Amino acid sequence: MKESLEWMMKRSAFMKESSMLNWFPKICDLDIPMPETFIVKIPYDKLSGMLDGKQLPDNYATQIEQASQMLGYPLFLRTDNSSQKHDWKNSCYVENSDQLEQHIHNLIDTNGACDLVDSAIILREYIQMYSLFSAFWGDFPVSREMRNFIRDGKIQCKHWYWFEEVMKKQGRPADSTWKEKLKYLNTLTDESKRTLDHYLHLVAERFPEGYWSVDFCQGVDGKWYLIDMARGEVSFHYPTCEKASEFAQEKE
């Protein structure tokens, strides 16, 4: 189905609103565990210049270097739009300083191919999440992760981020026991349910209007970390959920 011009325009606006530069300042002071985060705002023409072999101007390169030194390695890398986490070992997971520039280049290149116009390089504390197997082309560690939807300041619905169908079609784990492990990952204790509900209510209060997805992932330390948000209209939603919007089903 071809996208209508109207939807393309709406989608573009929703994607801009989904930038981390928009939602992160609204929730970063909440009493919710989040990775330590450094944001380096950079004009897109400077970032895209890297694809033509140009170096980032010194002032931006210095900020990135200083942030990486404060965080230490490994670190988690993304832009304001995406981390391309499926390509884990070549994108968001930066093991040492020798990889940093190339991974930034990879992110800008892949995001550009997805029509994403990046406006920042974001370096985050690497938190080891509770993972039992790897999948996708970048050896991404599949973790206990939940996607939640809030609409106009109220919790709408909750889903596991990873599910069997996507693993079969795209993830293709090498681990022959991945189904059993995924089933175990997709379980919540009563305590976790209460914790996530509390965190979601805190986030929802900051977004009294609009439709948003809110992603949480559990670390090996047992804590639930708020790791990402986006407009709900451009976030994948289980098609079988009665709350799934028409656009979320057809366009993602």
- Give 246's pLDDT tier (boundaries 50, 70, 90): low
In whole angstroms, give the CA distance from residue 95 to residue 84: 16
**pLDDT, tens digit, for every residue of 126-172?**
999 999 999 999 999 999 999 999 999 999 999 999 999 999 999 99
Cβ atoms of 96 and 73 within 8 Å: the answer is yes
**pLDDT, tens digit, for every residue of 165-200?**
999 999 999 999 999 999 999 999 999 999 999 999
CA-based nearest residue to 151, from 237, 35, 39, 72: 237
Specify the pLDDT at position 252: 38
CATH of 131-251, one of 2.70.50, 3.30.470, 3.30.160, 1.10.260: 3.30.470
The beta strand positions in 5-92, using DSSP E, are 37-41, 75-79
- Provide the 3-class DSSP secondary structure of residue 147: strand
**Is 46 a residue whose pLDDT tops 70?**
yes
pTM of the model: 0.93
Specify the pLDDT at position 3: 63
- Give 251's pLDDT tier (boundaries 50, 70, 90): very low
Contacts of 63 (CB under 8 A, 6+ apart): 38, 40
Specify the pLDDT at position 249: 41
**Is 12 a residue whose pLDDT tops 90?**
no
Q: What is the mean pLDDT of the chain?
A: 94
